[in-house]
């Protein structure tokens, strides 16, 4: 059997909400599965329990402020009886999405993530790597979240590379407070 792999933006890019939703609208109704590392992550009978339109305001360790949006779709295991009924279809998933987006402002350009956990594993927000369209099912491939130093230039890292622990050593100018000048240090002492 030949499988058609339709990539949505890959590991180095965020998958937008619109890219995933549009891709799920194009095929006929099929079961919708969520995989991690080539294995089923979310069991049949799952529920979409919440769709969040999130605005994040952050500052990295280099002092640069940023703001962005994410769409977080929370999945939860169903009962044994629901699991026996199989996976939710892309049409059922889209009906839930459409009902939510009629009431709250979910942005098309926002990165989409799936949040999932159960009694055996803590809830995590997974990134979408791609959608695999097979004749009998649709598979959303996920990857685990990670962290990286977002102030790479301040830390002396080439663009696009992640920080190595040694790069963010104390007094390196990265991932910690800047060293105060003697005048600032004196002012700080007086405040205490």
C-alpha 12/C-alpha 137 separation (Å) is 26
CB 168 within 8 A of CB 174: yes
- The ranges assigned to domains in the chain are 4-143, 152-191
Q: Which helix (H) or strand (E) holds 155?
A: helix 152-155
Whether the full predicted model's pTM is greater than 0.85, yes or no, is no
As a whole number of angstroms, the distance between CA 38 and CA 23 comes to: 20
Structural element, H or E, at residue 34: strand 32-36
CB 53 within 8 A of CB 107: yes
Could you tell me how many helices (H) and strands (E) the chain has, helices first?
Answer: 5, 8
Tell me the backbone φ, ψ of residue 14, rounded to 5 degrees.
-85, 135
Unique residue bearing structure tokens 């996920």? 142
Q: How far apart are CA 176 and CA 188, in angstroms?
A: 17
Q: pLDDT 10s per residue in the chain (192 long)?
A: 333 333 333 334 689 999 999 999 999 999 999 999 999 999 999 999 999 999 999 998 888 899 999 999 999 999 999 999 999 999 999 999 999 999 999 999 999 999 999 988 899 999 999 999 999 999 999 999 887 777 776 776 655 555 444 455 555 555 544 444 455 444 444 443
């Amino acid at each position: 059997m030949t499988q058609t792999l339709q990539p949505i933006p890959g590991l180095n890019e965020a998958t937008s909400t619109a890219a995933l939703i549009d891709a799920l609208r194009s095929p006929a109704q099929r079961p919708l599965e969520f995989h991690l590392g080539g294995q089923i992550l979310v069991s049949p009978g799952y529920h979409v329990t919440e769709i969040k339109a999130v605005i994040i305001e952050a500052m990295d360790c280099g002092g640069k402020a940023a703001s962005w949006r994410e769409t977080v779709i929370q999945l939860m295991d169903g009962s044994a009886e629901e699991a026996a009924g199989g996976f939710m279809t892309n049409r059922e998933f889209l009906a839930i999405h459409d009902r939510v987006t009629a009431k709250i402002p979910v942005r098309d350009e926002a990165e989409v993530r799936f949040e999932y956990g159960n009694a055996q594993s803590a809830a995590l927000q997974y990134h979408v790597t791609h959608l695999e369209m097979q004749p009998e099912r649709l598979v959303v491939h996920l990857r685990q979240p990670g962290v990286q130093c977002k102030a790479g230039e301040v830390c002396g890292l080439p663009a696009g590379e992640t920080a190595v622990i040694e790069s963010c050593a104390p007094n390196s100018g990265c991932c910690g407070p800047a060293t105060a000048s003697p005048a600032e240090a004196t002012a700080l002492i007086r405040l205490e």
